[in-house]
Structure 1
Amino acid sequence: MTIPAHVQVLLKRLREKFTPEKLREQMAACDAPFRTLRPVRDATEKSVLRYWERLIGPASHIDRDLIADTASLAAAKSYSGNIENYIGTVKVPVGVIGPLRVNGINAARDYHIPLATTEAALVASYGRGAYAATKAGGISTAVLYEGVIRTPAFTFDNILSAGLFVEWVVTNIKALRSAAESTTQHGKLSSVEPVIDNNVVFLICRYTTGDASGQNMVTIATHALCEKIVADCTVPIDRWYIEGNFSGDKKASALGLMTGRGRKVSASVILPAAIIEKTLGTTTQEMLAYGRIADLGAKLSGQMGAQAHYANGLAALYIATGQDAACVAESAIGFTRMEARGDDLFCSVTMPNILVGTVGGGTGLASQSAGLNILGLKGTGNGAALAEVTAALCLCGEISIVAAIAAGDFTRAHQSLARLR
């Protein structure tokens, strides 16, 4: 058997740095005493400073002044609804692009979009894509589907009991819907889809969530549904869990790719050849040639869908507008298409898992509210529009990166805007 070269390199480094005896001693379980941090839910200036007393160390006073600055200390109480053990805030640079013209079912005007990131070149790249798309007349968008899901799991003695349980659920769906919807003013249970694996049943509970992202909303509603099942079901249940790790919550999954979790949005634009040449510095045929290679690479590597870098734009927008940044893991899947339309280029993205909201969660914090206000999408009635803008933003990123790599400008742009800036 041949030992891979990278394994040999790692072993060589370990041998040079450690002896087996030293490693064994260093990695052994340690029962030294420790003093845990006292949990704080309702933060105050006093609790913040108490935490920093525990964190004292080299340059800690400098660190404290940067993280627990005057404004962060004064706003301690307002952050308590979004975090525990609060010690201050981290400042992430925010850039803005636009206007990006969106001609959508729910979003239909020009938007300036805030993007929070520490990655130089990202804002410039998305801004270039937005300029090209707007010059071409704007991006058409549509929400195709809506349904945030939670998937509780139930276990039984055998497959027969599992089947009888599914029959009971189907028969009593009206009472289960009433129990779930009693917990929320805005959430609606649109379907319950059972999946049986022998003696285990998963219930795919799908909800519409109004203008909220709805993660907590559907969890609480599903818990009420499950308690109703446990109280009334005539089939003996062995165990049940609020989430069976089936929903794709904060992870890429085939279920999410095919049926969606959140809002499914499609966005498209036709870029005239002249705009591609003048604005993007390449041609329709060069972009298509690279697009074929990128699509092949996605297939060969087993990518969930086929796209270049949705996560870049999603993370920056989610942080700037108070979304749950961890949802980028599931939102960043979908399909990018580029096709010739004569001399012009049709570009589209279809994204099944966009999880955004304009109310609730982090959207109520001051800086994040400001980000939504820049978009003009703060508050009730704007959730679907924000989802369409999000897809349009990701399309801008796809256009820009494909053009940059096709033209041979990708490395140069990162050198000039990042490393050598």
Structure 2
Amino acid sequence: MPISQHHARNVTDRLVRGRPVDEVVGLLTDTSEEERPVPPRVPGLREWSADAHARRVEFVAGLGVEIPHLTGTAPRGDASAMRGSIENYIGMAQVPVGLVGPLRVNGMHARGDFYVPLATSEGALVASHDRGAHLLTAAGGAVCLTTTEQVQRAPAFVFERMGQAAHFAAWVVGEYEALQAAVSRTTRHGRLTDVGTHIEGNHVYLVFAFHTGDAAGQNMVTFCTAALCEEILARTPVQPRYWFLESNMSGDKKATALSFIQGRGRSVTAEASIPRALVEEVLHTTPERMSDYWRVSFVAGVRTGSIGVNGHVANGIAALFLACGQDVACVSEASVGVTRLEVTDEGDLYAALSLPNLIVGSVGGGTRLPTAQECLRIMDCLGDDRASKLAEICAALTLAGELSIVGALCSGDFARAHAALGRGSPAR
């Protein structure tokens, strides 16, 4: 994803935080994480008995996290606790939650071995991601890097003539510092990072980009944009005929080419190098065959007009979002990504996944719900200074899912796995 010099400087400043650049870069090439002992896998793999369930609950408790709401042993909260999350509340939909891991992540924000909760009703999904997590962890983990962090809102202003529109757009560009001040009066957690202008005839589209701290930020950017529009309308030398708070140019909850290029939410890249022996042992195929499949699938994605080309990133993201109180509708944009598989000179498998549009938060919104808080605590991703950590875990998880599904398609296990895990109890 190409970014401007202005954004590149902001990203670099945020990542280094006063440290030497080579020290920060060293975190992404440090192999000491690979030498640590691997924690135990989730107990009772592919077991559905009450005893296996009890062992898994005990396992999570051993991680220091109690999950009474997930297990249904805690009393249901008062309906008033749902305010801000739902209207006309009548009850709770229940989606089963499984646990994947350990998943080793060597990121700028997420470093360590994580157990990842996934909520889904699709059989084989948790097993597939768990297999990919086992592969990545055995290979030393996924290296993850969060770059740009921005959420956009794009108001539109309509004028009588194009000349007025151009005058207005030129004036707005010169008011950047005043607009930043207006945002600072509106929120303590967000800040304006960029203003884009687009003139179309007598229309002007302004694309405001915000850093939203550890919140996913959709509400925050709405409130800030409303304040910015008030500031603009009070001071502009040329008044529009009418205007709208959102023009449909921000890319909110939809896959767009603009968001794919400039990023929306947190832009994260994950990579891993998988030794040939592990590919053969865990995935029952070879790096060459996986590279062949990636090339065929990439051409197919391009021919069908896909924005980004990947296998099933939406599966892992949707399941993680459901478990962790994220805005599930954002899967439409968050699942846009590019997977790449290549054979290295040594004959191993190189895998990379870029996700430019991860809308995630560790505070606010659905993260206030009891089950979401329990799931986030399992990964230590609840609260301040943890949103980028959650994003990097999400990138590593979905890279694990990509490796597993491509391996299954190459080995012939894809249909067999769904036949074994994607069906309920045999009919009687």
Which band: TM-score by shorter chain? 0.7 to 0.9
Aligned residue in 2 for 1:24:
none
Deviations 1:284-309 (A, max 9, x none): 11111111111111011100011111
Residue aligning to 2:301 = 298
**Residue of structure 1 in register with 2:152 after alignment:** 149
* Residue 373 of structure 1: how far off its partner (Å): 0.3
Instruction: Tell me the equivalent position of 1:397.
Output: 401
**Which stretch has the larger CA shift, 165-174 or 309-318?**
165-174
What is the aligned partner in structure 2 of residue 349 from structure 1? 353
The answer as to whether partners of 1:72 and 1:88 remain within 8 angstroms in 2 is no
Q: Alignment RMSD, CA only?
A: 1.3
8 Å contact kept, 1:339–1:345: yes
CA distance in 1, matches of 2:322, 2:118: 8
TM-score (norm 2): 0.81
Q: How many residues align?
A: 353
Distance (Å, rounded) in 2 between the aligned partners of 1:174 and 1:381: 26
Equivalent pair of 1:349/1:395 in contact (CA under 8 Å): yes
Is the Cα–Cα contact under 8 Å of residues 100 and 112 in structure 1 kept in the other structure?
yes
Query: Per-residue deviation at 1:343?
Result: 1.1
Q: Secondary structure at the match of 1:267?
A: strand
Q: What is the SS of the residue equivalent to 2:422? A: helix
User: Separation in 2 of the partners of 1:164 and 1:70?
Assistant: 63
What are the residue-to-residue correspondences of 1:19-418 with 2, within 5 Å? 74-341=77-344, 342-418=346-422
Question: How far did 1:410 drift?
Answer: 0.4
The answer to whether the 8 A contact 1:138-1:269 is kept is yes
User: Does the residue aligned with 1:110 lie in a helix, a strand or coil?
Assistant: strand
Q: Relative to structure 2, which stretch is displaced further, 73-82 or 324-333?
A: 73-82
Deviation per residue, 1:344-382 (Å, 9 max, x gap)? 000010010001000000001100000000111110010
Amino acid at match of 1:198: G
Provide the rounded CA distance (Å) in 1 between the counterparts of 2:73 and 2:413. Answer: 43
Greater CA deviation, 80-89 or 69-78?
69-78
SS at match of 2:384: coil
- Letter matched to residue 229 of structure 2: C
1:305 alignment partner, SS class:
coil
Asked if 2 retains the 8 angstrom alpha-carbon contact of 1:73 and 1:88, the reply is no
The one-character-per-residue Cα deviations of 1:321-344 (angstroms, maximum 9, x if unpaired) are 000000000001011001111210
Letter matched to residue 163 of structure 1: A
% identity of equivalent residues: 47
Offset of residue 180 of structure 1 = 2.1
- Counterpart Cα distance in 2 of 1:388 and 1:335: 15
Helix, strand or coil for the counterpart of 2:352?
strand
Q: How far apart are the structure 2 equivalents of 1:95 and 1:126?
A: 11
TM-score normalised according to structure 1 size: 0.82
Letter in 1 for 2:414: F
Whether the 8 Å CA contact 2:287–2:342 is kept in 1: the answer is no
What is aligned with 2:40? none
Q: CA deviation at 1:153?
A: 0.6
CA distance in structure 1 between the aligned counterparts of 2:242 and 2:284, rounded to whole angstroms: 60
In the alignment, what sits opposite 1:65?
Answer: none
Conservation of the 8 A alpha-carbon contact between 2:268 and 2:391: yes
- What is the CA deviation profile of residues 255-303 of structure 1, one whole-angstrom value per residue up to 9, with x for unaligned ones? 1100011010000000100000001111111111111111111011100
Distance in 2 (alpha carbons) for counterparts of 1:292 and 1:236: 53
Deviations 1:79-123 (A, max 9, x none): 122110000101110000001000001111110000000001000
Mapped contact 2:197–2:207 kept (Cα < 8 A)? yes
- For structure 2, list consecutive stretches of 5 or more residues without a partner in the other structure: 1-71
Residue 273 of structure 1 aligns with an amino acid whose one-letter code is R
Give the C-alpha shift of residue 72 in structure 1. Answer: 7.5
Please give the secondary structure, in 2, of the residue aligned with 1:211: coil
Alignment partner, residue 11 of structure 2: none
After TM superposition, which residue ranges in structure 1, 4 or more long, deviate above 3 angstroms? 69-74
Q: What is the alpha-carbon distance in structure 2 between the residues aligned to residue 375 and residue 156 of structure 1?
A: 50
Check whether the contact 1:72–1:89 (CA below 8 A) recurs between aligned residues.
Answer: no
User: Is the partner of 2:144 in helix, strand or coil?
Assistant: strand
- Aligned equivalents of 1:145, 1:102: Cα separation in 2: 19
CA separation of 1:203/1:72 partners in 2, compared to 1, >3 Å: closer, same or farther?
Answer: farther
- Which shifted more, 283-292 or 94-103? 283-292
SS of 1:376 mapped into structure 2: coil
CA distance in 1, matches of 2:424, 2:412: 18
1:393 and 1:172 mapped to 2: Cα distance? Answer: 42
Q: CA deviation at 1:420?
A: 6.0
> Based on CA coordinates, which of the two structures has the bigger radius of gyration?
1
Residue 243 of structure 1: SS of its match in structure 2?
Answer: coil
